[in-house]
Amino acid sequence: MTRVRFDTTDVDVGERESVLDALLRAGADVPYSCRSGVCQSCCLRAVEGTPPSAAQVGLPPTLVALGHFLACVAHPQDDLVCARPGALAGAVDATIRERESIAADVVRVRISPNIPFVVKPGQYVNLARTDGLVRSYSVANLADEDGYVELHVRVLEHGAMSRWIANDAVPGTPVSLRGPAGSCVYVPGSPHEPLLLAGSGTGLAPLLGIARDALRHAHRGPIHVMHGGRTEAALYGADALAQLARAHANVAVTRCVLEGPGSDDIVQGRLDHVIAARHADLSGWRVYLCGHPDLVRTLQQDAFLAGASLDAIHADAFLTRADAPVPTG
């Protein structure tokens, strides 16, 4: 049994419990979202004791060197005294610059970092409110060219951050950005490689970013963007996709809906089925998958079985608190 201290909380960590679960059980106020080691919102810093290296996977080496770790996947062997991540945890003060509703339940928010913030299109950032609420969002634009970071946020009925963004995050509101993280990025150097970019809902955000990045690197191979939604109303971004396809002969767009009749430019059917029908052989393809965790998992398996090599499949599942595994003690 190990013991963990954080702020005024001092608690034993059960054998199969994570540091996060133990601290929450004891009433500590630790931010978290996915509980799966993905979003990095539970990042803490060990000021005494050694955090398990398995809980540092995916963190930048500078943060690892300073003792940062992800509390939700930390099962320590030693006692730990923890603190909130330091200023060096890459948090950059920023300001909401623009906010616009772009579909019934999707808000586009543009954020100006107060100092240069390097992020590649398709990576995700951790957006933090001044009260410490943190959530991950994927970057939809070429932030280095645009000078701002564009996020597409699906507004959930009881979502703490997404509702706040939709209702309260007016231009001028201070926030901060941490990260970036994630490997869903365009890899220059193989300009003829075919690219499949597939996702559901706001999974379109990183896919748009990746497509734009590929095109500015003069990618000449086919770029197939496949966007799925429950209904036509969920298929936002039609204009942006049409514009890309009009301007670049190598870009093809397929949009599909689960419910509804379909139309000239919308296929009726499940995204995974539509992809399987059109891309039975993905050997030699680079595949990017983003959006709902169940769909991403299915598409990952399908892409591998269709011949895409594991290192050519990049995926970001948009895990929410609702997907978080139930804590074990």
Burial 248-281 (b: 16+ CB within 10 A, else e): eebbebbbbbeebeeeeebbeebbbebbbeebee
- Closest CA relative to residue 9, chosen from 21, 33, 27: 27
Q: Does 38 bind ligand FES (CB under 6 A)?
A: yes
> Residue 165 corresponds to which amino acid?
I
Quick one: what does residue 254 bind among ligand FES, ligand FAD, none, with the CB cut-off 5 to 8 Å set by partner type? none
Under the criterion CB under 6 A, does residue 184 sit at the interface with ligand FES? no
Closest CA to 43 of 104, 134, 143, 173: 134
Q: What is the DSSP letter of 139?
A: B
On whether the CB atoms of residues 86 and 72 are closer than 8 A, the answer is no
**Piece of 28-36, 61-69, 120-128, 288-296 that binds ligand FES (CB under 6 A):** 28-36
* Partner whose footprint covers residue 280, from ligand FAD, ligand FES, none (CB < 5 to 8 Å by kind): none
Q: Which does 202 bind (CB under 5 to 8 A by kind): ligand FAD, ligand FES, none?
A: ligand FAD
Q: Indicate whether 33 belongs to the interface with ligand FES (CB under 6 A).
A: yes
Q: Which residues bind ligand FAD (CB under 6 A)?
A: 33-34, 38-39, 124, 135-138, 151-154, 156-162, 202, 205, 316, 318-322
Exposure b/e, 96-112, CB count within 10 A at least 16 = b: bbebeeebebbbbbbbe
The DSSP secondary-structure symbol of 40 reads -
Q: Which does 215 bind (CB under 5 to 8 A by kind): ligand FES, ligand FAD, none?
A: none
Which CB sits closer to ligand FES, 73 or 197? 73
Contact 88, 73 (CB under 8 A): no
CB-CB contact of 108 with 152 (8 Å): yes
156 binds, among ligand FAD, ligand FES, none (CB under 5 to 8 A by kind): ligand FAD
CA quadruple 96, 101, 102, 105: dihedral, nearest 10: 110
Q: Could you tell me the smallest distance in angstroms from the CB atom of residue 120 to ligand FAD?
A: 14
The region of 29-37, 102-110, 273-281, 285-293 touching ligand FES under the rule CB under 6 A is 29-37
Residue pair 288/204 in contact by the 8 Å Cβ criterion = no
**Which of ligand FES, ligand FAD, none does residue 32 bind (CB under 5 to 8 Å by kind)?**
ligand FES
Residue pair 99/165 in contact by the 8 Å Cβ criterion: yes
Residue 59 contacts which entry, ligand FES, ligand FAD, none (Cβ below 5-8 A, type-dependent): none
Smaller CB separation from ligand FES, 38 or 256 = 38
β-strand pairing of 68-70 with 43-48: antiparallel
Chain residue whose CB lies nearest ligand FAD: 159
Task: Identify which of residues 30 and 235 has a Cβ nearer to ligand FES in the complex.
Answer: 30
Cβ distance to ligand FES smaller for residue 146 or 294:
294
Of 67-86, binders to ligand FES (CB under 6 A) are 70, 72
Residues that bind ligand FES (CB under 6 A): 32-35, 37-42, 70, 72
